[in-house]
Structure 1
């Protein structure tokens, strides 16, 4: 473990070459009592797909390893691509509790940043989840830099060239810091010091129904260093209309390191998915919550034929040469997230 800020490292973009994808397998029935078995099937389907492109590293209690292998393996080759670690978790959201990887500017060496994780302001148990970056650093024999600040991977988005997008509703929320909000200046200093970013763009808030208080990975995602996908809402009476309109307008003023403007690819939000008798009356469904792989993109779809198809086509255009894998994500969003939320990419 290293005290102090990493020197000469940066936060790489997700569209750059990856070494592996990390998942935290559904292993705690209490965190998802209604969808527990469905989620395990869904993770089996997703992991089997992932093994076609790169290594899959899975946090799960040892007693589950055999059943996980069975749920992934339709062929021997698939299992050769899977590393199982005896790491217990409270929940499945590896994007948020997993290690945030940084890369050395000269040697390309990858290291881990380990932030405080408190389940989006203490909404759920998190004692086991908060140990995952340290355990990952141990098994990967990587250098680990720690921060006392609270940060989740889904709260930040980068182009790999020093530009970072985030939301005030998350990073400046008093619930992330024991009831006392961090100032923007404090947060910027920590993000720049830990992740080697230069410019931070702050959006006000996120989408409706989001347990996380408004993660950016449901709204804006980089597809190249100078291009983003941005979710938009056309129905003026929808609670997401104003928030997304403001973000879309803000993006016009964002500049890359060389002063250029961003290309902005708009994708319309799925129609609202309501849940009866559930803690989320509206589910945080968004096409921006796709998962990037080396030669593929896993796209969440929501059983809305026309909107799903348009989103798939637009995302495919952003990533020529990458296969599009569509995954029905209703069971995942019932629990509060989609494909990007369950996976943390490890850069090569």
Structure 2
């Protein structure tokens, strides 16, 4: 996994992108407010985010960001435990922490935060404030690990999956998007990702685009890496589902992928939610957009009891020792995202002000 010379150019550095199921310091989220696209369903969006925060804060810390004058009164009204939940005042465009949040790597055994450019999923939406959140958090002293400026490259956290052992799972539609890093082809992008993350085994999917997906097929809506060479993926559903044909092609593509040792992956099929359509628009609902913590899995569900239950049971195949916590993410899908999209985890040692799983600094929620 030797990928990059250090600053003195005297010896190569060893990089590793931790798997999501490894130990966390905390999880970052942004609170919805009136000046975001959530304003028309703001109470529903806040209830959903609050449920995610409460589920996380059972056994780990949470950091919430947003403009204080628009967010703090409603956050205080939730009654979050200030020992577990901390608020940081700063401007935000939206709530998609997975995509504007810094990505954490190990470099020669120490943590480092990578701050990539976030341009609103290929210049689709305003992102000027969200693109600055990671650097602002660093400037305010909220990170214990140093930050590495990677703003010459557009990358969203939802587009990359890691097993913690050098494997990348991603999609060509997103990473090769001309409005992200259009000057580079797959070979150049693969070399860059190997340099930044230490990826030695890179898997690109070319199928699976969901209708209504603004991200250009983020991998976290389609297929997720799990321990023991396992991939959980979005099944194709019923033939009448408008995503059926494309997801069937993705399933066939997944059967051709091989581990670094040349073996097929263990493939576990998640159900595909029934079509959710609002005002004639098909929304990209998926059970693959779950968040893995060291002890729990937060699963987005959509008011479809049979499939919601089946998705939870399926996750237990890959994570038998994890508790699965179902959270109704119907409000989130109305803005074309889900649970994983609004969260970004930071490994232990990345965040300042945490001791024994609690915030030890002064907290505006006290």
What TM-score comes out, normalization by structure 2 length?
0.86
After superposition, residues 275-286 of structure 1 pair within 5 angstroms as: 275-276=278-279, 281-286=281-286
Match of 1:40 in 2: 46
Structure-2 separation of matches of 1:4 and 1:36? 51
Gaps of 5+ in 2: 1-5, 349-366
After superposition, residues 249-264 of structure 1 pair within 5 angstroms as: 249-264=252-267
Match of 1:65 in 2: 72
Contact 1:60 1:89 in 2 (8 A): yes
1:274 to 1:84, Cα distance in 2 relative to 1, 3 A: same
Contact 1:19 1:346 in 2 (8 A): yes
Match of 1:325 in 2: 325
2:35 corresponds to 1:29: yes
2:246 corresponds to 1:243: yes
1:16 to 1:111, Cα distance in 2 relative to 1, 3 A: same
Match of 2:353 in 1: none
User: Which stretch has the larger CA shift, 159-168 or 203-212?
Assistant: 203-212
2:190 corresponds to 1:183: no
Structure-2 separation of matches of 1:317 and 1:23? 28
Match of 1:203 in 2: 205
Structure-1 separation of matches of 2:7 and 2:156? 20
The DSSP-based 3-state class of the residue aligned with 2:72 is helix
What's the offset of the Cα at 1:119? 0.5
The DSSP-based 3-state class of the residue aligned with 1:135 is helix
After superposition, residues 67-146 of structure 1 pair within 5 angstroms as: 67-73=74-80, 78-105=81-108, 107=109, 109-138=110-139, 139-146=142-149
Contact 1:3 1:145 in 2 (8 A): no
Structure-1 separation of matches of 2:36 and 2:63? 23
After superposition, residues 330-341 of structure 1 pair within 5 angstroms as: 330-341=330-341
Structure-1 separation of matches of 2:307 and 2:234? 12
What's the offset of the Cα at 1:334? 0.2
Measured against aligned partners, the alpha-carbon deviations of 1:223-258 in whole angstroms (never above 9, x if no partner) come to 214111111113334332232222222222323233
Measured against aligned partners, the alpha-carbon deviations of 1:29-77 in whole angstroms (never above 9, x if no partner) come to 342232222211221221112100211011122333343133142xxxx
What TM-score comes out, normalization by structure 1 length?
0.90
What's the offset of the Cα at 1:345? 0.8
Structure-2 separation of matches of 1:230 and 1:92? 25
Contact 2:241 2:274 in 1 (8 A): no
After superposition, residues 265-304 of structure 1 pair within 5 angstroms as: 265-276=268-279, 281-304=281-304
Q: In structure 1, which of residues 7, 10, 19 is the aligned counterpart of residue 13 of structure 2?
A: 7
2:224 corresponds to 1:221: yes
The DSSP-based 3-state class of the residue aligned with 1:83 is strand
The DSSP-based 3-state class of the residue aligned with 1:247 is helix
State how many pairs are aligned. Answer: 336
Structure-1 separation of matches of 2:202 and 2:329? 30
1:4 to 1:323, Cα distance in 2 relative to 1, 3 A: farther
What's the offset of the Cα at 1:91? 0.4
The DSSP-based 3-state class of the residue aligned with 1:140 is coil
What's the offset of the Cα at 1:321? 2.3
Structure-1 separation of matches of 2:148 and 2:204? 24
Match of 2:56 in 1: 50
Contact 1:44 1:72 in 2 (8 A): no
What's the offset of the Cα at 1:130? 0.3
The DSSP-based 3-state class of the residue aligned with 1:132 is helix
Higher helix share: 1
Contact 1:4 1:145 in 2 (8 A): no
